């Protein structure tokens, strides 16, 4: 599935790190940063999460809700949040259902090998549930700056 700017963001129903159900529709009326990342505690993903953490108040001040999502388990998310003191929820999309909805589970090539994996992508969703921006060239160490531009 290809998601484009201007379309309604697909709603989803998934579990966060605590096993609580998160739906996109529960954030209607708020701006949402939905960021897909490959794996907890890897260098790029840690840099990205910590950049969002360090700029969390500025993002809140602009009316954003932050939702991170990867295929890691709830337990891995709990450990990642605890280790880096992350103030936002992480969705455990272990069955890749939300990844499939947003087209972020794709064939990737690395060092001549092909495998399926998460394509690091951030979707900015406005208050009415419409995708207002898609960041596909994520700067992991300056991601908040890309969002707040």
Q: Domain holding 44: CATH number?
A: 3.40.30.10
pLDDT tens across 75-115, in order? 999 999 999 999 999 999 999 999 999 999 999 887 888 99
Q: How many domains does the chain have?
A: 1
50 carries an active-site annotation = no
Say which of 24, 45, 98, 147 is annotated catalytic.
45
**47: containing domain:** 29-148
Instruction: List, for residues 108-127, the tens digit of each pLDDT value.
Output: 887 888 999 999 999 999 99
In a domain, 16, yes or no: no
- In a domain, residue 23? The reply is no
Residue 17 within a domain? no
Domain-embedded: residue 41: yes
pLDDT of residue 1: 62
Task: Give the span between the Cα atoms of 38 and 45, in whole angstroms.
Answer: 7
1, part of any domain: no
Q: What tens digit of pLDDT does each residue of 41-56 get?
A: 999 999 999 999 999 9
Averaged pLDDT, 16-36: 97
The strand pair at 13-16 and 21-23 is best described as antiparallel
In-domain check, residue 107? yes
């Amino acid at each position: 599935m290809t998601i484009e700017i201007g379309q309604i963001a697909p709603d989803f129903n998934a579990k966060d790190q605590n096993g609580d159900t998160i739906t996109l529709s529960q954030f209607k009326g708020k701006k949402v940063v939905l960021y897909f990342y490959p794996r907890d505690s890897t260098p790029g993903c840690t840099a990205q999460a910590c950049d969002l953490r360090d700029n969390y108040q500025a993002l809140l001040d602009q009316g954003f809700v932050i939702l991170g999502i990867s295929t890691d388990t709830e337990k891995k998310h709990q450990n990642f949040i605890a280790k880096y003191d992350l103030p936002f929820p992480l969705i455990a999309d272990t069955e890749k259902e939300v990844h499939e909805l947003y087209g972020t589970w794709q064939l990737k090539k690395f060092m001549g090998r092909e495998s399926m994996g998460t394509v690091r992508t951030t979707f900015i969703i406005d208050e009415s549930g419409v995708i207002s921006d898609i960041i596909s060239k994520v700067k992991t160490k300056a991601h908040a700056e890309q969002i707040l531009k």
